Chains A and B, each alone.
Chain A
Amino acid sequence: ILNVEQSPQSLHVQEGDSTNFTCSFPSSNFYALHWYRWETAKSPEALFVMTLNGDEKKKGRISATLNTKEGYSYLYIKGSQPEDSATYLCAFPVPNTGNQFYFGTGTSLTVIP
């Protein structure tokens, strides 16, 4: 079992605030790190797949950075909107297994109008 941890577990912010949360993962044998967004009553949807140390990806107001040497990734949301309310999951593929993944337990974000 690999340790993929996300913090904080939940977050409440006011509309317009910027926020960020963390995913930590094993730094040895890194292959990739995924971020997913999961809205209530829907299925998780991909945000980013990150593979290179120092990588930074952006999708609208959401961006993510990656530090493979220390084993963490940050997800940032700029100017949070109520529609950003969701659970954000990170997933770590286990090297040399073909398709085995470990997911973090997620950060639940609530944006208060």
Chain B
Amino acid sequence: EAQVTQNPRYLITVTGKKLTVTCSQNMNHEYMSWYRQDPGLGLRQIYYSMNVEVTDKGDVPEGYKVSRKEKRNFPLILESPSPNQTSLYFCASSYGMYGTIYFGEGSWLTVV
């Protein structure tokens, strides 16, 4: 089954404790992205990647890092999480530039 898988789905963590949200897709898509969803603000893109080792900042990259060492994986790293990073996060992938976006199931992250 074609899918984007992200983990963990739910996490409560403390300020400053580094965490990684993993993302993997099995559709051989070149393009992958991370988004965050906050009430009233819609989906905002954090980082995107056009292929292995090629990444770029989206609209809200501050406080996040990404890496794309393999085509299928695109982890999101919060080096020192803060409460304002409490949000619902989506990983996504697509085939071709600006192609249909396939979303993971979302990760609820709470930073206390």
Contact = CB atoms under 8 A, between A and B. Distances in A.
Interface residues of B, number: 28
User: Is the contact region of chain B dominated by helix, strand, or loop, or is it mixed?
Assistant: strand
B102 to A, nearest CB: 8
A63 interface: no
B42 A98 contact: no
Band of interface residues on A:
20 to 34
Interface in A39-71: 42-46, 49
A99 B49 CA distance: 7
Contacts, number: 67
Given A101-B45, A103-B42, A103-B44, A34 B100 contact: yes
B103 A43 contact: yes
A98 B43 contact: no
Interface of B: 31, 33, 35, 40-45, 48-50, 54, 56, 58-59, 90, 94, 97-106
